[in-house]
């Protein structure tokens, strides 16, 4: 189950990064770079935080080839993908949820407490997207009201993984993924946002 989630999260984030690059009119190299950074960036940051070096994603040649292939396929068939409307948003949401849960699981494996697990899970979930936004010259969505919960959804999902892990690790992972997805999609549907400072 764990490896399935790793592969699914990597592929969805690679496609999300590639679609963002295409939307910014990047060339083929730019698309490959942004897809790769989005796919492995969050996990790499997480591994550095817990002292797992070199990052697992950089040691998995098969996974990196899949990222490369996903970026190429997205580059050549993006017109068909974009016709699916909300697919980029759904891919980003799924990648966020998967990597947040996997990051939380990694934190638990390394013996971190509740807040350590929440932090590693959140960074794992938003890290790739954060790098994607910076490299594509956009304000990272975790820093402003983007119309839904993002980092906060990843944080709550990570917390769920920690709390349920003693009962059943696989159930905890799936529950964390579902929680993050519901929080992000639900907040968008209900129009919920986090508070910001009042203007003077």
> Which pLDDT tens digit goes with each residue over 158-193?
999 999 999 999 999 999 999 999 999 998 888 877
- Rounded-to-integer distance, Cα 179 and Cα 187, Å: 12
Q: Is the predicted pLDDT of residue 1 greater than 70, yes or no?
A: no
The whole-number pLDDT of residue 178 equals 96
pTM reported for the whole predicted model: 0.83
> Which pLDDT tens digit goes with each residue over 70-89?
999 999 988 887 777 677 78
**Nearest alpha-carbon partner for 159 in 179, 183, 185:** 179
- Rounded-to-integer distance, Cα 71 and Cα 32, Å: 6
> Which pLDDT tens digit goes with each residue over 4-26?
777 888 888 898 899 889 988 99
């Amino acid at each position: 189950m764990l490896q399935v989630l790793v592969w699914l999260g990597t592929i969805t984030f690679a496609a999300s990064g590639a679609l963002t690059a295409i939307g910014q009119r990047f060339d083929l190299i730019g698309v490959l770079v942004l897809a790769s950074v989005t796919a492995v960036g969050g996990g790499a940051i997480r591994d550095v935080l817990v002292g797992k070096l070199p990052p697992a994603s950089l040691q998995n040649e098969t996974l990196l080839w899949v990222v490369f292939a996903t970026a190429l396929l997205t580059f050549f068939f993006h017109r068909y993908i974009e016709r699916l409307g909300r697919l980029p948003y759904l891919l980003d949401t799924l990648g966020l949820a998967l990597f947040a849960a996997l990051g939380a699981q990694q934190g638990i494996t390394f013996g971190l407490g509740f807040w350590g697990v929440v932090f590693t899970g959140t960074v794992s979930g938003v890290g790739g997207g954060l790098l994607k936004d910076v490299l594509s010259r956009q304000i990272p969505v975790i820093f402003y009201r983007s119309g839904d919960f993002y980092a906060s959804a990843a944080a709550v999902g990570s917390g769920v993984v920690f709390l349920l892990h003693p009962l059943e690790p696989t159930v905890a992972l799936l529950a964390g993924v579902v929680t993050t997805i519901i929080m992000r999609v639900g907040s968008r549907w209900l129009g919920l946002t986090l508070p910001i400072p009042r203007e003077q």
